Amino acid sequence: MLSLKKYLTEGLLQFTILLSLIGVRVDVDTYLTSQLPPLREIILGPSSAYTQTQFHNLRNTLDGYGIHPKSIDLDNYFTARRLLSQVRALDRFQVPTTEVNAWLVHRDPEGSVSGSQPSSGLALESSSGLQDVTGPDNGVRESETEQGFSEDLEDLGAVAPPVSGDLTKEDIDLGAGREIFDYSHRQKEQDVDKELQDGAEQEDPWPGEGAEALARNLLVDGETGESFPAQVPGGEDQTALSLEECLRLLEATCPFGENAEFPADISSVTEAVPSESEPPGLQNNLLSPLLTGTESPFDLEQQWQDLMSIMEMQAMEVNTSTSEILYDAPPGDPLSTNYSLAPNTPINQNVSLHQASLGGCSQDFSLFSPEVESLPVAGSSTLLPLVPSNSTSLNSTFGSTNLAGLFFPPQLNGTANDTAGPELPDPLGGLLDEAMLDEISLMDLAIEEGFNPVQASQLEEEFDSDSGLSLDSSHSPSSLSSSEGSSSSSSSSSSSSSSSSSSTSSSASSSFSEEGAVGYSSDSETLDLEEAEGAVGYQPEYSKFCRMSYQDPAQLSCLPYLEHVGHNHTYNMAPSALDSADLPPPSTLKKGSKEKQADFLDKQMSRDEHRARAMKIPFTNDKIINLPVEEFNELLSKYQLSEAQLSLIRDIRRRGKNKMAAQNCRKRKLDTILNLERDVEDLQRDKARLLREKVEFLRSLRQMKQKVQSLYQEVFGRLRDENGRPYSPSQYALQYAGDGSVLLIPRTLADQQARRQERKPKDRRK
DNA sequence: GTAAGCTGTCATCAG
DNA sequence: GTCTGATGACAGCTT
């Protein structure tokens, strides 16, 4: 039965660790950081608010350690850290909305605005916006110039020509069908998105115009001509700030120094990325052959669960305000509630509109902002709910943010287009969504900067080396000290005198300081001179919660309030049983703290101590308890003791041994819990680190993909048939051969090959 | 007055 | 068989 209980007790803890490892939310931190005193106190000990003074151990506190879980100073420390983090968080949110303004450019119909207005570097939306996007001052422009398309692109009018069967070079380069540029076509998408828009547009500062003009007003600054989103007060600004905050945090987290190259890459992507609204043919020709965008829902869910576990873990250490803003979402939707912005926020609406027309561009257009160019996913994360309304919540959440979706949004969205172009297996198919992973990075950043109770315990570890899962207390410092104390006690014990009348306040104090190590009844027998020789055995140093380092009596003497502290476990002792003769007169109590301590310690005599006195046991309880068996028997043989005395002595020894054993047992139990908690924390930290690394790899992979995509577009765009006309992307596609060569093959053939390659990974998964 | 925590003690088991 | 340590359970005490 006992083994079963032990098994259950330890099993629960181990099960907790396992659950945390497999991603199931088992957040010890939740209980540690939340206001749940029971478990927190089990593990970390009672908070200062709940802490009960160690009345049994006067010297239990302020033993020299800087921060103790029970210390009030620790609370102050946490408070200071929390406030500091909040202040920092406030500073982070003081972000201009420049980038966000650019997000709304795409809503401008016909691109009239972006074409005429000074480019903000983000006028991606308009039909010519793809070219306008890369303003002269933008690194993207440089990349386009390098590709030799910039001039042609700039020549595009603000209003896209109607759709024609023939694709122009610009169309190919843009990577989007002309339908995208058709206002009527995009107007439909806007209508859909308008449903998502709430009072943001209703609060349009330029009312009175038509819906179209309204949209323009939302996008164009009347003074500067710069495209910008409607400045709606209230939560919209907050959302915008939260978006930028997210971007900045991600930027800080991003380990890549890719800023220099990214704009160029992005420009390529902008050209290449197709839109959902594109006709299949146009879309296909722009689809990277490397990307399939097929991602099984199972993997997504699995990854989502992983993220849930880790993000929840980290979220608890993140500034609350930050998390609230980052994941501000209306209740009810589990996904959106936790990991996406509110769909009805203006930014989302705008972005959604943008994405509806140029989904691919929207994924990364945030990169055009110098401040956030290294943080593309952050922007994409905000696009989670922005996928066209015909997408499911889950699909929109994942699809729009998925890297594969960046190139192949249709396949991940409800508007998936079966006529996707030449595709290669998406190497990211089984990987986590980048948006979410970046959020992980964000959270990791917070967790790294933050401070949590576990870290506090780790601080303690620096002072308390008694760690590890080992239950062998004999290896602990305390045990060492105990053994040392025991040996010294046995060797130095001289049985100097009876403890009855020799106990004075000074002697008690001296013994108090000399012993240091604490053993059985050390708190109650210090009155005896011979007991001052060294209480031995167990050193009740509850490493984490109940440190009982009494080596510094000065500290105790400096803590007069401790005089009134103390359990009285002399349960069965009548007041008269206490040796009043040992007690100094009340008047002497005022002479000094030492005397007071002595008086207090007199009262702390244990029951067995009083019994021993009553039975006139000629040696101390310390000896009775701590002497080795041989010495103990030898000691007994030296005296003529009655049977009652012998029985009492044996009882004292037994109880004393058991008392120390119980203390050791409890100490081990607490240490075990602490170590398990520490292990869980370490494992969670490792998990978070691995996920961060995964995010980094994904970023790197995406960069490579973008480069490949850019090259693909460039090569394909330069191809000419025998008549000097460019090949239609709907009819031809480039295929990478195994030997590194690139072949121009019919689209149908490329599609077939792509499907074959797409099936292979699926089969492998099965 | 009650709940919770701490400590001592007992009983029991195992080495 | 004895001793010792470990541990669950309980009681007493204090806050």
Segment A132-135 long-range contacts (CB within 8 Å, at least 24 positions apart): A133/A267, A133/A270, A133/A361, A133/A365, A133/A368, A134/A267, A134/A270, A134/A368
Residues of chain A above pLDDT 70, percent: 21
Helices A434-449 + A235-253 axis angle, to 10: 80
> Would you say residue A688 has pLDDT above 90?
yes
**CB proximity list for A520: less than 8 A, separation 6 or greater:** A535, A536, A537, A538, A621, A622, A625, A626, A656, A657, A659, A660
Q: Is the CB of A662 under 7 A from strand C?
A: yes
A4 touches strand C (CB under 7 A): no
Protein-to-nucleotide distance from the CA of A483 to the C1' of C3, whole angstroms: 18
- Residue A574 corresponds to which amino acid? A
CA contacts within 13 A on the Cβ side of A721: 9
The predicted model gives A430-457 an average pLDDT of: 41
Residue nearest to nucleotide C5 (CA to C1'): A661
| Lowest-confidence segment of A278-287, A682-691, A698-707 by average pLDDT | A278-287
Q: Is the pLDDT of residue A725 over 50?
A: yes
Mean pLDDT of A269-292: 37
d(CA A761, CA A413): 20
Strand partners, A726: A720
Nearest residue to C4 via alpha carbon and C1': A657
Chain centroid, CA A8 distance in Å: 30
Q: Specify which of A493-502, A542-551, A754-763 reaches the highest per-range mean pLDDT.
A: A754-763
Q: What is the mean pLDDT of chain A?
A: 48
Name the residue closest to B12, CA to C1': A2
Q: Return the higher-pLDDT residue of A641 and A59.
A: A641
pLDDT at residue A752 is higher than 50: yes
Would you say the C-beta of A636 is within 7 Å of strand C? no
Q: Dump pLDDT digits (tens) for A300-340.
A: 444 555 554 444 444 444 433 333 333 333 333 333 333 33
Considering only residues 490-529 of protein chain A, which place a Cβ less than 7 A from any atom of strand B?
523
Nucleotide nearest to A56 (CA to C1'): B7
Going through A348-449 in order, the beta strands assigned E by DSSP cover: none
> What secondary structure does DSSP assign to A225-282, as a single string?
--B-----TTHHHHHHHHHHHHHHHHHHH-----TTTHHHHHHHHHHH---TTS-HHH
Give me the residue label for tokens 């001289």.
A494
Of A623, A657, A660, A621, which Cα lies nearest the Cα of A491? A623
> Could you identify the residue whose CA is nearest to the C1' atom of nucleotide B8?
A659
The CB density around residue A467, as the number of other CB atoms within 10 Å, is 17
Q: Is the pLDDT confidence value at A703 over 60?
A: yes
Scan residues 445-474 of chain A and list those with Cβ within 7 Å of strand C: 471, 473-474
Residue whose CA lies closest to nucleotide C14 C1': A567
Model pLDDT for residues A178-234, shown as the tens digit of each residue: 333 333 344 443 443 444 344 433 434 333 334 343 344 444 443 334 343 433 333
Residue A640 has pLDDT above 80, yes or no: yes
Question: Å between A1 CA and C8 C1'?
Answer: 10
Closest-lying nucleotide for A45 based on CA to C1': B5
Q: Please give residues of chain A from 576 to 615 whose alpha-adjacent beta carbon (CB) lies under 7 Å from any atom of strand B.
A: 606-608
* Mean pLDDT, rounded, for A652-663: 85
A614-634 pLDDT tens trace: 778 888 887 888 788 778 888
A653 touches strand C (CB under 7 A): yes
Residues 41-70, chain A, CB closer than 7 Å to nucleic strand C: 52-53, 55
Vertex A535, ends A601 and A46: CA angle to 5°? 65
pLDDT at A654: 84
CA-nearest of A252, A192, A239 to A382 is A239
State the pLDDT at residue A83.
52
Quote the pLDDT of residue A693: 97
Q: What is the mean pLDDT of residues A517-523?
A: 36
Would you list the domain boundaries of chain A? Answer: 728-765
- C2 C1' to A638 CA distance, Å: 22
- Confidence at residue A181, expressed as pLDDT on a 0 to 100 scale: 36
**Nearest residue by alpha-carbon distance to C1' of C15:** A52
pLDDT-based confidence at A68, cuts 50/70/90?
very low
The C-alpha atoms of residue A253 and residue A132 are separated, in whole angstroms, by 30
What pTM, to 2 d.p., does this model score?
Answer: 0.33
Determine whether the distance from the CB of A2 to the nearest atom of strand C is below 7 Å.
yes
Nearest-nucleotide field for A46 (CA, C1'): B5
Report the percentage of chain A scoring pLDDT > 90.
4
More confident residue, A590 or A134: A590
- Per-residue pLDDT band for A695 (boundaries 50, 70, 90) equals very high
